[in-house]
Amino acid sequence: MELIKIAKVAKLVTIVIEWGGKKDTVTLVELILKGGVAIWPLLFLSVLAGGTIIERIWFWWQVLLKQDQILDSIMDAALKKWEVVEEVARKYRKHPIGNFLYAPLRLSQPDPELFHLALETAADDELSMMRRGDKVLEGAIALAPLLGLLGTVLGLISALSSIKIGDLGNSSTAGVTLGISEALISTAVGLIVAIISLTFYRLFQAFWSNEVRIFRKAGSELEMIYRQRWMQVEAEEYSINSNQKKSEN
């Protein structure tokens, strides 16, 4: 049923193309059929890249929408009331920045080195998850133009193979121009897929680079607060032990 609906929609989509000064109106299905053999892997690649782009847009929208609020809540709790910072971070552990900051806080009184190691490990995990789908877009960027070029070459071979030396300049070669034009369809489709994929790939890379900066800053601030608290606790324990020794003496 879904394929039938798609076919009906495709028949309704018309595209105006100019062939040697003449304007021709073709449906999307006709354009695909004229694209040759290479158009099918290009369509598969475009669907794959399109699905990845939509999924990544939704992911980054969810991440960027609540990130500042989550970061402010956790850092405020760490500065003002350390005892509740773990509980605050636990509420936001489904968010990348929340799960990143919650990783060292769930440990039971870790030393500063272990706290730092937990932050680094969590940052690596979260940042690597943010790059999910990059390989698909990289593949589309690399393969789409090559598939388009392959389709054009195969189309040119097919169009030019019908030409005979004795037919040059005659009306019998008029269809060759149309064949060459149709052969270029796959190249155009390949370039469109590659350009769109590259545009969103660069956009997602910019988001990821900004997240690296935010993670480093947030992790450093939380670690600094923890180290200060650790030093205060050690100083208090040392003072208590010293007082106990004096009282015993």
Q: What is the pLDDT of residue 242?
A: 61
- pTM for the model stands at 0.77
Q: What is the pLDDT of residue 160?
A: 72
Q: What is the pLDDT of residue 153?
A: 85
> Tens-digit pLDDT profile for the chain (249 aa)?
444 444 443 443 444 444 444 455 556 666 666 767 788 889 999 999 999 999 999 999 999 999 999 999 999 999 888 889 999 999 999 999 999 999 999 988 888 899 999 999 999 999 999 999 999 999 999 999 999 898 888 888 777 776 665 555 555 555 556 567 677 888 889 999 999 999 999 999 999 999 999 999 999 999 999 998 888 877 766 566 666 666 665
Helix 39-80 vs helix 134-160: angle between axes, to the nearest 10 degrees? Answer: 170
Cβ-contact 36, 124 below 8 angstroms? no
What is the DSSP annotation of 138-200?
HHHHHHHHHHHHHHHHHHHHHHHTT--GGGTTSGGGHHHHHHHHHHTHHHHHHHHHHHHHHHH
Q: Which sign, positive or negative, has the C-alpha torsion 139, 142, 143, 148?
A: positive
Placement of tokens 């936001």 in the chain: 92
Beta bridge partners of 22: 19
Q: What is the pLDDT of residue 17?
A: 44
Q: What is the largest CA-CA distance in the chain?
A: 120
Q: What gap in Å lies between CA 85 and CA 87, rounded to an integer?
A: 5
Backbone φ, ψ for residue 19 (5° rounding): -110, 105
Cβ-contact 133, 197 below 8 angstroms? no
Task: State which amino acid sits at residue 227.
Answer: R
Tokens of 131: 């790059």
Q: What gap in Å lies between CA 29 and CA 12, rounded to an integer?
A: 9
Q: What gap in Å lies between CA 50 and CA 56, rounded to an integer?
A: 10
Cβ-contact 99, 122 below 8 angstroms? yes
Q: What gap in Å lies between CA 120 and CA 104, rounded to an integer?
A: 9
Q: Which residues of 199-208 are buried (b: 16+ CB within 10 A; e: fewer)?
A: ebbeebeeee
Which residue ranges make up each domain of the chain? Answer: 1-34, 36-163+176-241
Q: What is the pLDDT of residue 247?
A: 63
Tokens of 238: 């040392």
Placement of tokens 């606790």 in the chain: 233
Cβ-contact 46, 134 below 8 angstroms? no
DSSP state for residue 84 in the 8-state scheme: G
Q: What is the pLDDT of residue 173?
A: 54
